[in-house]
Amino acid sequence: MDALADTVRKLSASSRRGYQNPYEAIEWPETLNREQWFTSPELISLYGTQWWDELSDAGRKLLSFWEAVNFYSLNIAGERFLMEGIAHRLYRPGWEDVAEYLHHFLDEENKHSVWFGTFCQRYAGKVYPDRKVAFPREFADGEEDFLFFAEVSVFEEIVDRYNVTMARDERLVSVARRINDNHHTEETRHLVFGRRIVAELWRQWVDRWPPEVVEGIRAHIAGFVTATWRDYYNPDAYRDAGLADPYAVARGAWDATAAHRDGVTRRALRPLVSAGVLP
Amino acid sequence: MTEAEAREALRAWIREHNPDVPAGEPADGTRLIERRYLTSLQVADLLLYIEELRQAPVDPTRLKPGVFASIDDIYGAFF
């Protein structure tokens, strides 16, 4: 953990300088006209598919609203997992050097969930439920911590690509741009921390793990990438946008948009490749 | 969809995601999680498949590890 100490100090100082009151950072209109863009069209899960082609302009904008609700909902689920994991590791023996930053991490993730949850509840009246279930399993020494931070890193790297694009997209309604922009600003620090801690934990443990554990970790990360992307193709959102047979749409869109996922995934996995975790 | 069709569809899904499953597996009582035929990372995918078979969303409050222990448990919980 010594190698992380300097990074942790700098990130903590940056978090303190950029501290935001989550209840003042974003102005929330009383109501929102859904005939506007809430998600960049090119990032909508049906973009480029037959279902996209069949939608009217109003239908595409309505879908962009429900895709935003889905994006924010999957972020709430991801941040809940993250906050549980961070809280579990606060001041655990051996982790004292990073505790200062874990407090900021928790604080900032909680704020993000306030923004995402406020949008979903205020304008959609709901947060889409998370379909993930964790089964208990055995881990080698160090494996659970490593997988936790590797999953967090992959999840946040993918989300950040969407945040960066939508924060700059002037077609989007202001509140959607602000949410994405604020999230990206704070996630930038989390990404740095995630990359550093994943590399550090890998360096500490990889030579102590037998080959089957290393192989299992790589397979788990591949499975996590697939599971993460599945959440972006939510039949609930398609149903709310008025599409018929939303499950068939989800399956068809998944098959039709592999190239988009591959491009984002390649970039999101670069830190794990650089650290030697993935070949 | 009949009960037999739903159970066969669930078995087919498990086989498709586990090409090395021995012939005749999984049986209705096979312990899917212990045998690693079903992992946490696959559950969301399986749930979407179950919802498509049922043509109705699953109540998220029912999502506990025990309901995925076997084909019998999955059928009992969701169909």
Within 8 A of B60 by CB-CB distance, chain A residues are 129-131
Going A167 to A170 to A171 to A172, the CA torsion angle's sign is positive
For residues A177 and A40, is the Cβ–Cβ distance under 8 A? no
Q: Which tokens go with A190?
A: 């989390």
Test B43 with A129 for CB contact under 8 angstroms.
no
Residue B51's closest chain A neighbor by CA?
A247
pLDDT value for A1: 57
Q: What is the pLDDT of residues A10-50, one digit of tens each?
A: 999 999 998 888 888 899 999 999 999 999 999 999 999 99
Q: Under DSSP, is residue B36 helix (H, G, I), strand (E, B) or coil?
A: coil
Q: Is residue A226 part of a domain?
A: yes
Q: Which tokens go with A127?
A: 């947060």
Residue A128's closest chain B neighbor by CA?
B60
Number of domains observed in the structure of chain A? 1
Q: Which tokens go with A79?
A: 């941040």
Check: CATH 1.25.40.10 for B3-78? no
Q: Which amino acid is at A241?
A: A
Residue of B33, B39, B51 lying closest to A223 (CB–CB) = B39
Q: Is the pLDDT of residue B60 over 80?
A: no
What are the strands, taking DSSP E only, across A114-233?
A: none
Residue B53's closest chain A neighbor by CA?
A247
Q: What is the pLDDT of residues A174-199, one digit of tens each?
A: 999 999 999 998 889 999 999 999 99
Domain ranges in chain B are 3-78
pLDDT band at A3 (very low <50, low <70, confident <90, very high): low
Q: Is residue A279 part of a domain?
A: no
What is the span of the domain harbouring residue A180? 2-274
Question: DSSP for A219-272?
Answer: HHHHHHHHHHHHTTS-HHHHHHTT-SSHHHHHHHHHHHTHHHHHHHHHHHTHHH
Test A223 with B58 for CB contact under 8 angstroms.
no
Q: Is residue A161 part of a domain?
A: yes
Size of interface A-B (CB pairs under 8 A): 56
Q: What is the pLDDT of residues B42-59, one digit of tens each?
A: 999 999 999 999 988 888
Interface confidence (ipTM) of the complex:
0.89
pLDDT value for A250: 97
